[in-house]
């Protein structure tokens, strides 16, 4: 592979999320989150796992930052647990909870690592769920109160802010499929949740702008590139619909001020009447400084007589798959980047999550030679670099994830880390993929 060199100011990072790594679920005044409630509900999480202890990052953050430094990570994307700051979701804030994130943030800065803070990565205060959660429009204002406190306390030292992580997953896995917290199964609720999360994002961006802070603010949707399973007209139309349901459903409101008509009709035909106040769309379309994208895989799509489309990756044996059952399709990242460059007015883009779960083996010397993950990382970076050469303003890459952690409904069974975490004693071990990433960062390329 000829030497691939990224732009000199390209940002090399790693990403995690509060509920997945922190533990200390009820320590120092933290309130209950919807993921505490969900994971404590029998039958929701594989093996009955929960985030009560997770990776104990709450107590081990200095050790973890030392490992980031050893790998040479330049920026660390972490999320703040809303119920650690506001145990009741609003009102009086918890000084001890805020203090943890101050200590974490200043320890990063002391080690020359740029903080990238995600305000919401799924752990809503349970007290807010008790009043309807994201389906309750008032929660968008409580989100602004929460965001505003963090902008005030950390805004002068945190250079990158991400308002919301994956609105689509929160809305549809949490409120239509019911496989994520809070476990609701209702399409209309899912659509209201998606809209209110975008509305909360736009309101928070507005609040951030008012404070004239030195940093940059964006949002982190999840995208998958969709490909028709054949060149039959019905499959091409089905693919267009699948792309609308996932990708256009985010791009249109945030960048075009409206929801995509074909998808609105798709939902109306399924009994979910969908319209929102036009003034919301102006708030949702607030100018952002960057688009953070989470990319893992792509889907092949064919026509379905009832549902309109069906994704058929499970039938495709020609692609290698990760432990999540997702096909490994690096070109999907390239195609996505070119598409977003075109659809989102050449906005600065960072890859805020990319990575893979594999069944890592520990050898007799305690080393983890996770070759599949190393190949996944290299192949996706090659595609990212190709996109940059095509003129895409790709500014950074955050690998998911720094360490093996709580993988939502799969518990600890799926491992995405470049650092292994022993579930018995929580000992950290850098995998070969972590050493590969160290070399990539050192060389600013492959």
Ligand X SMILES: N=[N+]=NCCCCNC(=O)[C@@H]1[C@H]2[C@H](O)[C@@H](O)[C@H](O)[C@@H](CO)[C@@H]12
Query: Which of 22, 123, 404, 407 forms a contact with ligand X (CB under 6 A)?
Result: 407
Which residue number is nearest to ligand X in terms of Cβ? Answer: 222
Question: Is 407 a known ligand-binding residue?
Answer: yes
Q: What residues have CB less than 8 Å from 340, skipping those under 6 apart?
A: 223, 251, 291, 293, 347, 349, 392
Residue 398 binds to ligand X (criterion: CB under 6 A): no
Residue 121 annotated in ligand binding: yes
Catalytic pick among 22, 32, 166, 311: 166
Q: How many degrees, rounded to 5, is the angle at CA 96 between CA 90 and CA 101?
A: 90
The answer to whether residue 298 forms part of the interface with ligand X (CB under 6 A) is no
163 interacts with ligand X by CB under 6 A: no
Q: Any idea what DSSP says for residue 139?
A: H
**Selected binder of ligand X within 17, 85, 170, 242 (CB under 6 A):** 17
Task: Confirm if 283 and 296 have CB atoms less than 8 A apart.
Answer: no
Q: Does 315 participate in catalysis according to the annotation?
A: no
250 lies in the binding site for ligand X (CB under 6 A):
no
Q: Does 341 bind ligand X (CB under 6 A)?
A: no
175 is in an annotated binding site: no
Binders in 343-362 for ligand X, by CB under 6 A: 353
Using an 8 Å Cβ cutoff, are 102 and 153 in contact?
A: yes
Binding region for ligand X (CB under 6 A) out of 49-57, 80-88, 289-297, 339-347 = 289-297
Gap between the Cα atoms of 319 and 333, Å rounded: 15
Q: How far, in Å, CA of 40 to CA of 236, rounded?
A: 43
Among 330, 373, 378, residue whose Cα is nearest residue 3: 378
Question: Which contiguous run of DSSP H or E holds residue 69?
Answer: helix 57-71
Number of residues that bind ligand X (CB under 6 A): 15
- Residue 294 found at the interface with ligand X (CB under 6 A): yes
Q: According to the binding rule CB under 6 A, does residue 404 interact with ligand X?
A: no
Cα(268)–Cα(166) distance, rounded to whole angstroms? 23
Residues 6+ apart with CB under 8 A from 81: 18, 19, 22, 30, 33, 97, 123
Tell me how far, at minimum, the Cβ of 410 lies from ligand X, in Å: 8
Q: Which residues of 247-269 are buried (b: 16+ CB within 10 A; e: fewer)?
A: bbbbbbbbbeeebbeebbebbee
Instruction: Calculate the dihedral angle through the C-alpha atoms of 134, 137, 139, 142, rounding to the nearest 10 degrees.
Output: 160
Binding residue (CB under 6 A) for ligand X from 163, 189, 224, 409:
224
Q: How far apart are CA 144 and CA 383, in angstroms?
A: 37
Residue 95 bears catalytic tag = no
Interaction of residue 32 with ligand X, rule CB under 6 A: no
The CB-of-209 to ligand X minimum distance in angstroms stands at 26
Q: Is 180 annotated as a binding residue?
A: no
* H/E element, 117: strand 114-120
Binding status of residue 272 toward ligand X by CB under 6 A: no
Q: Is 247 in the site for ligand X (CB under 6 A)?
A: no
Beta-strand pair 75-79/11-15: parallel
From the list 29-37, 185-193, 210-218, 291-299, the region that binds ligand X by CB under 6 A is 291-299
> Which residue in 22, 32, 299, 353 is the catalytic one?
353
Of 20 and 196, nearer to ligand X (C-beta) is 20
Shortest gap between Cβ of 400 and ligand X (angstroms)? 6
Of 163, 247, 297, 383, the one binding ligand X by CB under 6 A: 297
222 near ligand X (CB under 6 A) = yes
For 75, the 3-state DSSP assignment is strand
Residue 223 near ligand X by CB under 6 A: no
Under the binding rule (CB under 6 A), the answer on residue 243 touching ligand X is: no
Which parts are annotated binding residues for substrate? 20, 121, 165, 296, 400, 407-408
Residues near ligand X (CB under 6 A): 17, 20, 165-166, 169, 222, 224, 294, 296-297, 326, 353, 400, 407, 416
Which positions are annotated as active-site residues?
166, 353
């Amino acid at each position: 592979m000829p030497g691939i060199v990224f732009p000199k100011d390209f940002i090399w990072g790693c990403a995690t999320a509060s509920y997945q790594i922190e533990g200390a679920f009820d320590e120092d005044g933290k309130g209950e989150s919807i993921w505490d409630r969900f994971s404590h509900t029998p039958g929701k999480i594989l093996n009955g796992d929960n985030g009560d202890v997770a990776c104990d990052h709450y107590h081990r953050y200095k050790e973890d930052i030392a490992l980031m430094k050893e790998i040479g990570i330049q920026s660390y994307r972490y999320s703040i647990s809303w119920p650690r700051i506001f145990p009741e979701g609003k009102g009086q804030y918890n000084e001890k909870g805020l203090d943890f994130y101050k200590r974490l943030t200043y320890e990063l800065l002391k080690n020359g690592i740029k903080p990238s803070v995600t305000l919401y990565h799924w752990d809503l205060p349970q007290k807010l769920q008790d009043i309807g959660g994201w389906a309750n429009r008032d929660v968008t204002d409580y989100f602004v109160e929460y965001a505003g406190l963090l902008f005030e306390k950390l805004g002068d030292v945190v250079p990158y802010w991400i308002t919301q992580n994956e609105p689509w997953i929160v809305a549809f896995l949490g409120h239509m499929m019911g496989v994520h917290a809070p476990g609701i199964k209702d399409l209309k609720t899912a659509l209201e949740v998606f809209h209110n999360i975008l509305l909360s994002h736009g309101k928070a961006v507005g609040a951030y702008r008012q404070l004239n802070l030195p940093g940059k603010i964006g949002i982190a949707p999840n995208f998958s590139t969709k490909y028709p399973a054949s060149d039959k007209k019905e499959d091409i139309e089905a693919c267009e619909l699948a792309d609308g349901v996932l990708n256009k459903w985010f791009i249109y409101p945030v960048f075009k001020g409206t929801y995509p008509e074909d998808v609105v009709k798709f939902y109306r035909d399924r009994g979910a009447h969908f319209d929102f106040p036009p003034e919301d769309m102006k708030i949702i379309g607030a100018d952002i400084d960057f688009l953070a994208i989470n990319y893992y895989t792509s889907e092949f799509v064919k026509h379905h007589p009832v549902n309109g489309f069906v994704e058929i990756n499970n039938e495709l044996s020609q692609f290698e798959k990760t432990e999540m059952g997702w096909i490994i399709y690096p070109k999907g990242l390239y195609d996505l980047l070119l598409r977003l460059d075109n659809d989102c007015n050449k906005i600065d883009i960072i890859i805020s999550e990319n990575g893979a779960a594999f069944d890592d083996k520990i050898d007799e010397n305690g080393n983890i030679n996770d070759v599949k993950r190393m190949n996944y990382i290299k192949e996706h970076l090659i595609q990212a670099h190709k996109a940059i050469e095509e003129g895409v303003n790709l500014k950074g890459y955050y690998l998911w994830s720094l360490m093996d952690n709580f993988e939502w409904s799969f518990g600890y069974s799926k491992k995405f880390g470049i650092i292994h975490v022993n579930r018995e004693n929580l000992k950290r071990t850098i995998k070969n993929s972590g050493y590969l990433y160290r070399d990539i960062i050192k060389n600013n390329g492959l």
